[in-house]
Structure 1
Amino acid sequence: MVYKGIKNIRLSDAKDPIIENYEDIIIKVTSTSICGSDLHLLHGFIPNLQMGTVIGHEAMGIVEETGKRVTKIKKGDRVIVPFPVSCGHCWFCKHDLSSQCDNSNDFGESGGVFGYGDTFGGYDGGQAEYLRVPYANFGPRIIEESLTDEQVLFATDILPTAYWGIESAGVKQGDTVVVLGCGPVGQLAQKFAWLKGAERVIAVDNIPYRLQHAQKYNKAEVINFDDYDNTGAYIKEITKGGADAVIDCVGMEGKMTAVEKIETVLRLQGGSKSAIEIASLCVRKGGTIMLVGVYGAKYNAFPLGELFSRNITLKMGQCPAHSYVDPVLKMIEDRKIDATDIITHTMPLSDGDKAYDIFEKRQDNCIKVILKP
């Protein structure tokens, strides 16, 4: 799946990747998926995305070729590939911040990400038949044959991201947790909130079938924000003062006001901040807001004063997935977490154009699409 311009990601031929450095591997992709953050690329919200970039940062497959200095992976191994491109030996990688790797991105301040343009290192992604994986002694994890692709594929991104979001928010026994957004990461964050001992999990969205899924599979209380004039104030009321933790799994593509739409087109605003505004109203004094949804540029009328005056802790960022892959895989092996219920569509890569259309337009009750090259 190749970026051809705004609103134009299409199935196309691309050059097969080759070994470029001694620590590279090439994998033949067996499963990949479309992530909600890929829609930010489709809609033109991420700068410096070059025409012809292969998209996709959730991929796994069989090792076809290895560089001369690859010692932990061999040809024929079945591996998953965490979405950040990370060297494993810089200060950030050694201090559990692999998403901020100092050596994987010559173009921007953060670390590299597969299939996300020059701002994130300029790497081609995994929605393809083959993928080049740099720093293979650090990133990929070998997967046992007893586990299916469907069980482990999401350990590349959305499972670690959801787990990191809940853990970073400090969710503990007896907490009330609000999860904004019932897309794939939101659904998984709800599961992890219960595992961390939450007493109450409230899921917020405005898409009925996603709310129904959260209620059925995650036992969450559900709120359709279209039903209330002030959703944040309503949640504060029903929780008697607000939630201990609010996890924003929406990001910049939340419901925009008319002004935000105009400002975003003019590059005066980085997209919607509707989720942040709900979060600022429904978190309790001294509570924590954790932003795991992707945000873009600067934001006008950000509610900083409201957060400051109420001693709110605000956390955010790209998940340092390498630090969370192994614990997540252990939970999968021990049957403590199962993410397969969010898979609503499995399609061949040759139907990638149709898959993007279904995912973007939320057709056919779509939550998560897996593509099979």
Structure 2
Amino acid sequence: MVYRGPYKVRVEEKERPAIEHPNDAIVKVQLAAICGSDLHLYHGMMPDTRIGHTFGHEFIGVVDEVGSSVRNLAVGDRVMVPFNIFCGTCWYCARGLYSNCHNVNPNATAVGGIYGYSHTTGGYDGGQAEYVRVPFADVGPAKIPDWMADEDAVLLTDMTATGYFGAQLGDIVQGDVVVVFGAGPVGLVAARSAWLMGAGRVIVIDHLDHRLEKARTFAQAETYNFTEYADIVLEMKKTTDFLGADVAIECVGAEADGDFLQHVTSAKLKLQGGSPVALNWAIDSVRKGATISVMGAYGPLFSAVKFGDAMNKGLTIHTNQCPVKRQWPRLFEHVRNGHLRPSELATHRVPLEHIAEGYHMFSAKLDGIIKPLVVPTAA
């Protein structure tokens, strides 16, 4: 898959990736996915998304080749690869902040490296391809447990880990009212995970009925379609005795509906980091002294967030790209014990050669799509 400009992707033949460093591995991709944050790239919303770049930060596969220094992997191993690229030894990695690794991205004042996510995150080609180069192969990938299904494994490389991390950053305590903005895959996992952390009530807000239905069945959450209310913030106040929620988890990000000017300035001029609509709703919907967890992907530039309101309400805001591998030990147990089944959110399987149609379907939210997987070849 290669990017050819906003709303334009296609399949092309590229050079097979090669070992560039003794710590590299080459992985033959068996299963990948299209992420909601890939749509920000597809829509031209993220700076420095270059023509010819290959997207895809959720993938699993078989090790096809290893560099001379790789000790933990061998050719033929089935591996799941976290979306973070990290060295494992820098100041940040030593503290488990793998998403903030200081050695894998020239723009490392902010995020570390990410597969297939523009040159602001290092310019690494991603896994929506037949083969992908995996740097620092001894510290990033993990062998897929024999008991784990492939469709669960691929969805643990970002979507599930990020949703779980979003709930974790909410500092949920027993009985909390938790409101999740966005019923995409990450929001659905965050809502389900909130119960695991002791929430007493979970509310999900979106505008697509098929996603809200999934929030009711997958996450057992109360749901609100914000298009049916004149003021969704007021509804959240009403349903919480006019106090507000204890925790809000923002899982929408740069393309929240409701701000035409933002879409123009972001897509055409790259002037903003993204629409602040969902984040501002979160700030307004919680009680004073509450916690907000921000999982939505934003660009690096200006967004008109109501930070003064957040300060005056005494809110705690937690956010980061998920350090995926840090979440895996507990998530593996949740999956093994049946508390989480990521594959329940996979609704479509798109052959790699038809990925342009997959992006269009996901972007336009057609056919009840929630999470599309990418398979190497047509059956």
Pairwise TM-score range, normalised by the shorter structure: over 0.9
1:164 is paired with a residue whose SS is helix
Q: Residue 351 in 1 paired to residue 354 in 2?
A: yes
Q: Deviations over 1:28-86 (max 9, x none)?
A: 11100000000111111111122111110000011111111111111111100000110
CA distance in 1: counterparts of 2:139 and 2:158, whole angstroms: 16
2:92 is paired with a residue whose SS is helix
CA apart distance, 1:371 = 0.8
Deviates more, 1:14-23 or 1:266-275: 266-275
Q: Match of 2:178?
A: 177
Check 1:352–1:267 CA distance in 2 against 1; reply closer, same or farther (3 A cut): closer
Which residue identity lines up with residue 197 of structure 2 in the other structure?
A: K
2:347 is paired with a residue whose SS is strand
TM-score by structure 2 length? Answer: 0.95
1:329 to 327, 332, 339: 332
Q: Match of 1:146?
A: 147
Which residue identity lines up with residue 24 of structure 1 in the other structure?
A: D
Which residue identity lines up with residue 58 of structure 1 in the other structure?
A: E
Which residue identity lines up with residue 248 of structure 2 in the other structure?
A: V
CA distance in 1: counterparts of 2:100 and 2:280, whole angstroms: 27
8 Å CA contact retained: 1:291, 1:317: yes
CA distance in 1: counterparts of 2:271 and 2:106, whole angstroms: 26
CA distance in 1: counterparts of 2:263 and 2:59, whole angstroms: 33
1:244 is paired with a residue whose SS is strand
Q: Match of 1:30?
A: 30
Q: Residue 270 in 1 paired to residue 273 in 2?
A: yes
CA distance in 2: counterparts of 1:328 and 1:181, whole angstroms: 22
> For residues 289-304 of structure 1, what are the structure 2 equivalents within 5 Å?
289-299=292-302, 301-304=304-307
Which residue identity lines up with residue 66 of structure 2 in the other structure?
A: T
Q: Residue 317 in 1 paired to residue 320 in 2?
A: yes
Which residue identity lines up with residue 203 of structure 2 in the other structure?
A: I
Structure 1: segments with no counterpart, 5+ residues: none
> For residues 1-373 of structure 1, what are the structure 2 equivalents within 5 Å?
1-109=1-109, 110-240=111-241, 241-264=243-266, 265-299=268-302, 301-373=304-376
Q: Deviations over 1:146-204 (max 9, x none)?
A: 32111211110111111111111101211110000000101111110111111100000
8 Å CA contact retained: 1:26, 1:64: yes
Kindly report the root-mean-square deviation, in angstroms, between the aligned alpha carbons of the 2 structures: 1.3
8 Å CA contact retained: 2:156, 2:342: no
CA apart distance, 1:108 = 4.5
2:314 is paired with a residue whose SS is coil
CA apart distance, 1:268 = 3.5
8 Å CA contact retained: 2:102, 2:108: no
Check 1:300–1:250 CA distance in 2 against 1; reply closer, same or farther (3 A cut): closer
CA apart distance, 1:255 = 0.4
CA distance in 2: counterparts of 1:206 and 1:366, whole angstroms: 14
8 Å CA contact retained: 1:108, 1:119: no
Q: Deviations over 1:218-265 (max 9, x none)?
A: 111000011112111210221121111100000011103233334434
Check 1:80–1:287 CA distance in 2 against 1; reply closer, same or farther (3 A cut): same
8 Å CA contact retained: 2:113, 2:121: yes
8 Å CA contact retained: 2:179, 2:205: yes
Structure 2: segments with no counterpart, 5+ residues: none
Which residue identity lines up with residue 217 of structure 1 in the other structure?
A: F
CA distance in 1: counterparts of 2:107 and 2:220, whole angstroms: 43
CA distance in 1: counterparts of 2:344 and 2:167, whole angstroms: 20
CA distance in 2: counterparts of 1:8 and 1:117, whole angstroms: 15
TM-score by structure 1 length? Answer: 0.97
CA distance in 2: counterparts of 1:262 and 1:338, whole angstroms: 38
Equivalenced residue count is: 373
CA apart distance, 1:145 = 2.9
8 Å CA contact retained: 1:82, 1:325: no
Check 1:141–1:283 CA distance in 2 against 1; reply closer, same or farther (3 A cut): same
Check 1:301–1:353 CA distance in 2 against 1; reply closer, same or farther (3 A cut): closer
CA distance in 1: counterparts of 2:270 and 2:53, whole angstroms: 23
CA distance in 1: counterparts of 2:366 and 2:198, whole angstroms: 34
Identity of aligned residues (%): 40
Q: Deviations over 1:278-312 (max 9, x none)?
A: 10111111001111010114445421111111101
CA apart distance, 1:96 = 1.4
8 Å CA contact retained: 2:47, 2:270: no
